Amino acid sequence: MPDLILDGRALRVAEGTSVAAALALGGDGCSRTSVSGQRRAPLCGMGICQECRVTIDGRRRLACQTQCRDGMQVETRP
Ligand code: FES
């Protein structure tokens, strides 16, 4: 069971959980904040819409296309 840090809070998820699912399990379900200040959330779940962009270990990634790993740092806020 991977342990990750989501916006500074510890979260344990089941093996194989996507980061998009972890956002719903341990956060507000949102992945980022738009330039106009609106919170955005995963939409398509299959790598098309790009709404699930998050920062994982300092790099921008698609939450729906990334599985949680032990020690992963996920940030949804600027
Ligand atoms: S939810 Fe659409 S690209 Fe990830």
What domains appear along the chain, each with residue ranges and CATH number? 3-75 (3.10.20.30)
Task: Dump pLDDT digits (tens) for 34-67.
Answer: 999 999 999 999 999 999 999 999 999 999 999 9
The residue whose CB lies within 8 Å of the most ligand 1 atoms, and thus the one to mutate among 18, 19, 40, 51, is 51
Closest CA to 65 of 27, 31, 18, 24: 18
Say how many residues make up the chain. 78
- Predicted pLDDT at 27: 84
> How many H-runs (helices) and E-runs (strands) does the chain carry?
1, 7
How does the average pLDDT of the chain come out, rounded? 96
- Predicted pLDDT at 78: 73
Say if CB 53 and CB 63 are below 8 A apart: yes
Between the two ends of the chain, the Cα-to-Cα distance in Å is 28
* Ligand 1 center from residue 11 Cα (angstroms): 21
- Residues having CB closer than 6 A to ligand 1 are 42-45, 47-52, 62, 64
- Predicted pLDDT at 74: 97
- Predicted pLDDT at 7: 95
